[in-house]
Structures are given as structure tokens and as C-alpha cells.
Amino acid sequence: MACHSGQDSGEQGMRSAYGLVASSLLVGVLAALLSALVLARPWGTSIDIGGLYDHPYLRNFHGGEYSREHQTDFRWTRPTASLVLPGAGPPAPLTLRVHGDTPGHRVSLDGGGGALPVVLRSGWQRVSLLPRANWWSGDVRVQVTAPPQVNALDERVRGVVLSRVVLNGRGGYPPQGRRCWWG
């Protein structure tokens, strides 16, 4: 006849609790390692200016247009406009695809580190800069300033034409202010 004591069932309960804790710790460590791998990868994103989803990133731009000649969507800035890229993080190269209507057209780009004067040539070209992100939110804001252009056929006061923004981020760097935020 077998006799079971209460002490044996208590030991089994403790072993099963320890096993549950150990399994939970293992799952947590694996999740942290997978997150680290994802964060360590460089990332990139682009915004097609003049397309359907560009509006949240643009301040002081005219409406979207399409050029059959160049086969691209675009928008004219006003003489002073800005691009806002929420949560883009620490410095990452930002490339703008702009169009110079006339040789020598001057544009100023300010990504938080001071104005960068750019002299455009005729046609499409890429202009790159390294903007600074807001230390708390990680938001990147780029101010675009161009002399006003007025055309007899178009009564809008225009700055410069943009068709694309490309941002390439570095891996492993969440926005600085959010690193220590736990709420």
C-alpha cells in the first residue's frame, strides 16, 4: 500500500513553479535578442511628394501635381516650407529630389544645424543633408527656403519643386528622449 505525504505534492508544486519561471525567463531573453536584431538593422523610407500619402509630412506646400514630361508626381513649395518626419531618430542622411527650373536657382535647406545654401542646375537632381532630430521626440524638421517664383500663367507664389524624400536610418538607435521613457 502506497502512502503519499503532503510534502511530496508541495515539492512538485515548487518544481512546477520554478519550471514556469525558468520558461518565462527564457522566452523573455529570446524576445529581447530578437528585438535587438531588428533594431540593429539599418532602415530606409521614402515619401513620394505629390502622391497620395505625403500630406502629413509637408508644411506650406502647394497641391500635388503630375508631370507627363517627367513621369512623376511633385509639389511646389511656397517660398518657405518644411518637411516633418516624425520619430526619424538620430542623424541619418536625408535626400531630396528637386527640380531646378533655371540654372543658378538658389535654395536654402536647414535641417537644424544651420542653413545650407544650394545652387540648382536645370532639371532633376538629388540634394543630401544630415538633419538633426529633436532630442526628445526624434522628429526631423527640414526648412526649405527659395526665392519666390511668379509665372504669368500661374498666379501662385512658388518656391521649388520636390518629388521625393528619402531617409536612411542607422540601426540600433531609437529616438534619444524615448530611450529612457518607460510610461
Residues 32 and 53 in one domain: no
Residues 73 and 22 in one domain: no
Residues 16 and 27 in one domain: yes
157 part of a folded domain: yes
| pLDDT attached to residue 6 | 54
Who wins on pLDDT, 44 or 95?
Answer: 95
> Is residue 108 exposed (0-12), middle (13-18) or buried (19+ Cβ within 10 Å)?
middle
Residues 34 and 58 in one domain: no
134 part of a folded domain: yes
Residues 7-66 have pLDDT tens digits of: 566 677 667 777 787 788 888 877 776 666 655 556 678 899 999 899 999 999 999 999
Residues 30-41 have pLDDT tens digits of: 777 666 665 555
Residues 26 and 72 in one domain: no
Residues 134 and 104 in one domain: yes
What residue numbers bound the domain in which 35 lies?
12-41
Residues 54 and 36 in one domain: no
Residues 82 and 168 in one domain: yes
Q: Which CATH number goes with the domain that contains 54?
A: 2.60.120.260
92 part of a folded domain: yes
**Contact yes or no for 56/122 (Cβ under 8 A):** no
Displacement of CA 95 from its chain's centroid (Å)? 12
Domains identified in the chain, total number? 2
| pLDDT attached to residue 56 | 93
Residues 70 and 94 in one domain: yes
182 part of a folded domain: no
6 part of a folded domain: no
In whole numbers, what is the pLDDT of the chain averaged over residues? Answer: 82
Residues 26 and 91 in one domain: no
With a cut of 70, say whether residue 99 has pLDDT above it: yes
Residues 132-155 have pLDDT tens digits of: 888 888 888 999 999 998 888 888
